[in-house]
A = this chain, B = another copy of it.
Amino acid sequence: MADGPHVTIWNEYRHEKSDENVAEIYPQGIHGTLDAMLKEAGFEVRTATLDEPEHGLPEEVLDTTDVLLWWGHVAHDEVSEETVDKVHERVLGGMGLIVLHSGHFSRIFKRLMGTTCDLKWRLDDTERLWVVAPGHPIAEGLGEYIELGEEMYGEPFDVPQPDELVFVSHFGGGEVFRSGLCYRRGRGRVFYFRPGHEENPSYHNPDVQLVIRNAVRWAAPTPGAAPVYGHYEPID
């Protein structure tokens, strides 16, 4: 394996095939845009989509994935229980997971959070993501905030309190949202990053791309020693 983390980008890949406007923004799919950007940054990257066999995530792919990105929206329920089980197990074992935008309602994110992950929403707003943790590695290299034309997501966001909060968003319509959240689950790291509505070109934005590259490095496994569970003889 190369030096940096091996990345797999999972994309539902439906809007891009059915909606001309989306296809214009992401002609190779959302995963295609992310793939090109991460490769250019020197990462080893693969993509996987819902309609491939095993949703593009057979054992051999997961076995060699350090960080998995996840974008889904209209077809969360088509992701098989088996795939959710496998990804869940991998994350708890150390694989990083970056959940993007509407992936907040994905089966894998809800499984990891244990809550509804519900929120408010509205199309066609303006978002300003403020850095609230300026020393966090995921904010490295940013200015004070990122500005986007985006869908609005509003609080309350029904997730557990994050281990670290990196971004808080301001929306033109009057709402706020915790938009960059770090979690440790098992030996794996999970980062939820809000932007990325399919009708907005957010994944072409250089600062959004920078955050995702930073997050990939942050989420890379540091597995340590395998934990020991089960029956255990006394030491003393």
Chain A residues in the interface with B (C-beta under 8 A) = 92, 94, 111-116, 118-122, 125, 128, 130-137, 139-144, 152, 154-158, 160-161, 163-165, 168-176, 178, 183-189, 221-236
Q: Which of the listed residues A122, A140, A160 has the most CB atoms from chain B within 10 Å of its own CB?
A: A160
Establish whether residues A176 and B168, one from each chain, have CB atoms under 8 Å apart when the complex forms.
yes
Measured in the bound complex, the distance between the Cα atoms of B221 and A232 in whole Å is 38
Q: Which single member of B120, B143, B161, B231 contacts A164 (CB below 8 Å)?
A: B161
Majority secondary structure, A binding face: loop
A236 touches B173 (CB 8 A): yes
Q: Quick one: which of B140, B172, B186, B232 contacts A222, CB cutoff 8 A?
A: B140
Judge whether B134 and A236 touch: CB under 8 Å.
Answer: no
Docked-complex contact A168 and B161, CB < 8 angstroms: no
Given contacts A164-B163, A176-B170, A232-B175, contact A133 B184 (CB under 8 A): yes
Residues of B within 8 Å of A231, CB to CB, are: 120-122
C-alpha gap A150/B173 in the complex (Å): 18
